[in-house]
Structure 1
């Protein structure tokens, strides 16, 4: 007599990604990146993508190491200390002089712990390194964040753009790091999504989903819980207004992270850079409409957008959502830098795959 195990058909699996083998997803993606951008190379053993001219470039320029996504380790896993240390050694070869290295990541515990171990080891060995973790998520308030602080979202990209512009111009590590820290302290991000991300494990086992007709405001890049679930789903106008409230309201002592002088109609710090970021599957057409609405709402509150960019810049696989990042530009009179300098760094040409000038 046949047993139940013999007669039952195996359960169906529903795939969520076009991949070959889940365990090779990172290697496949980063190898493919070098075909798309032939002046990049991939160090498979340590999962490091680097510019082909790194040994020569590092002699006269500060180098930067960034990690904040699926490109390190396995998907959503922190890079190991060995991986980070190897990247530092690649940026500062022993055979030549070095201007030092800026290491940047989003504010996540595993990333920071492993980076700290690697940097301690590197500094003990004589390497010159500065480390800046960036936490820009205003959904995580001061009470909830505690000593850990806010999560990292797309705000680190804004700060890194400025820092890399200075590195490209030949500035020293101290100045590059100073600007990195300053911009990171003037950036905030809030995200919203329809669902938590599906990992490329070829099936839906263990995938947590939101209820139907529900979005989560403040969801983290790895599917961490947000500030609140909203149902029914609001139209874009009130949703974007609510998101901007979280970014701009300096009276909210728990979340007033961007140091605007006033929440509306500030006098000399009313100019901003706006970034609309797709978390994976939100189209450019939808982002463009959101940018239009955000621009109108910011102007109504007395702010002026000096620069705008949008697209899939800091993604979370196929997460169906988007984020708004605002960078408070310095006053004309200047702080760590003046407004003209800040905009010049933003406008510095770059030659990377995802960035749109």
Structure 2
């Protein structure tokens, strides 16, 4: 559970957040006392219906960041995870009710629709405001109430009194009817479409841990490192099911997603405790993939791919995919899925209408770009690019020296296994000194080389071809700076070996020196630099000065790697961070080279 927050004070956080939204949109206004963010209807506006939503803060961008043309007219914010008062809600209605606004819209069909997530406090306080306003003629028949309850996690038997919770489907609801209101629809029309959307929504969330409320003590997360919880609420309410992974890691998406989609789409006949929405076979749906606050965009995109795959396998036809941050639980590390069943042919409101309302752009900072097309098969969008290793001749040349080729492969395999074995140590070192990826990067490269040995693409008969293949793996599988450096070095080593291929013996000092010289044309790192260059340079130059004594040169590389402990970085990513704490460790990239060389050279007999 992440419990550190970059704020001035928990007591001022909500207001400062609302003020920040005002900076993004000069058309917005803020009533600080009531904590109401709103967009006044202009005198020439054709909009007859104002939309209000709200609730406790901590779910941003919902709801305040969705105030703008084509979405909400006003949002009411309570304290974190606490419903706003009825007085705040009344003030919101007074500020944007069409009859009270500068538009002075008194024509038939004008009014205000209050949209509420189904939580006890929200329903109570928003309902209190509606009923209090109902005693005034100006509001009596023109303020309506729409409750959204899209959660499918909690069984029927547990929620007989309170009903389903409102989740991210609320945002889909007011996006669709917000655009309808902007087009000049009447209160009856807006309410009717909103009711359809609310009744055809199904949402469920999953997380690897809880969120932390600013200003509160750090609690102990009840989920283990290998656990995820399905059905967690957006106020840290516990879920209904926990799944365990293996090897200390959460289960993969391929195991989680079928569970989630089944809970979303199961019929009441199949599961009497659920089956909230009767999805027709081959129904057209909208999918919303929502970040609950603490998930990286990298992970969220992968979630959308897996969700689309599983939903399509169910036979449902996805007409739109929305993926982003819509309704959070502060910094909760998880996501939610929402399915909206679209109307079938001949049903009202029409599917074309709902999709056009969803597709229309909105003028609100929280709403991002959404494609106005249904997703197409990924196979139609993916192109293949041959890697350098396959575009260069990799003929598996035969040689009479099969034993020599076998020894080459055995040395390469030994070096790869050494890098895989040392990955945890390198990862630990890089977590202190860098970004923690050094061990995994080298492991990925080693595993890639082993796969080429397995497929006989690396067979040891032709050394230049072997090193070209290894260079391709470094480029494709390792990536980043280290992948580029290794790839350049091995490519140049292949060049050096080819230039000396006329001699019966391999001139390793010459070939390695050629590779190092080439490498230095692409990096400014020179020893001592606290990078992988330090041991590499010591090894290559040692061969030239020590009469090609590989063992002695390997020892020099070990010494150069150990010397990086306590050394200030002069090149590489460590230059930008670290400090004394990071310098207490050897540079993991340098130590990786030392391990690699030791595995290749072996021990002096």
Residues 209 and 55 of structure 1, relative CA distance in 2, 3 Å threshold: farther
Tell me which residue corresponds to 1:228.
241
Whole-Å separation in 2 of the counterparts to 1:240 and 1:281: 19
| Cα deviation, residue 161, structure 1 | 1.3
- Structure-2 separation of matches of 1:111 and 1:62: 21
- Matched-pair contact (CA < 8 Å) for 1:186–1:327: yes
Shift of residue 15, structure 1, vs aligned partner:
4.8
Q: With structure 1 as the length reference, what TM-score do the two structures score?
A: 0.89
Partner of 2:299, secondary structure, is helix
* Separation of aligned partners in 2, 1:226 and 1:156: 20
2:186 equivalent to 1:172: yes
Any idea what SS the aligned residue of 1:355 has?
coil
Q: Does 1:249 align with 2:266?
A: yes
Q: Counterparts of 2:26 and 2:84 in 1: how far apart (Å)? A: 24
* Cα deviation digits, residues 198-247 of structure 1 (max 9, x gap): 0011641x565423321110000000111112223211012011100000
User: What secondary structure sits across from 2:12 in the alignment?
Assistant: helix
Shift of 1:284: 2.0
Partner of 2:19: 31
Match of 1:260 in 2: 279
How big is the alpha-carbon RMSD for the aligned residues of Structure 1 and Structure 2? 1.8
Q: TM-score, normalised by structure 2?
A: 0.53
- Number of the residue aligned with 1:61: 48
1:340 aligns with 2:359: no
* Residue of 117, 120, 132 corresponding to 1:109: 120
For 1:262-281, list aligned pairs within 5 A. Answer: 266-267=281-282, 270-281=283-294
Aligned 1:89-128 pairs, distance under 5 A: 89-92=94-97, 94=100, 96-98=104-106, 99-126=110-137, 127=139, 128=142
Q: Does 1:298 align with 2:317?
A: no
Output one character per residue of 1:86-122: Cα deviation in whole Å (capped at 9) or x when no partner: 0011112547334100101210001101111100011
Instruction: Give the distance between the partners of 1:104 and 1:207, measured in 2 at CA.
Output: 35
User: What are the equivalent positions in structure 2 for 1:66-77 lying under 5 Å apart?
Assistant: 66-70=53-57, 72-77=77-82
- Give 1:7's aligned residue: none
The alpha-carbon distance between structure 1 residues 306 and 94, as it changes in their structure 2 partners (threshold 3 A), is closer
Question: Structure 1 residue 351 and structure 2 residue 363: aligned?
Answer: yes
Unpaired segments of 5 or more residues in structure 2?
Answer: 58-63, 65-76, 371-605
CA contact (8 A) 1:69 1:316 kept: no
**Based on CA coordinates, which of the two structures has the bigger radius of gyration?**
2
Could you say which structure has the higher strand fraction?
A: 1
Counterpart residue number, 1:8: none
Name the residue aligned to 2:226: 213
8 Å contact kept, 1:198–1:207: no
More helix by share: 2
* Higher relative contact order structure (alpha carbons within 8 Å, sequence separation ≥ 6): 1
How many angstroms does 1:37 deviate by? 2.1
Residue 295 of structure 1 and its aligned partner are, at CA, apart by: 1.3
Shift of 1:147: 2.3
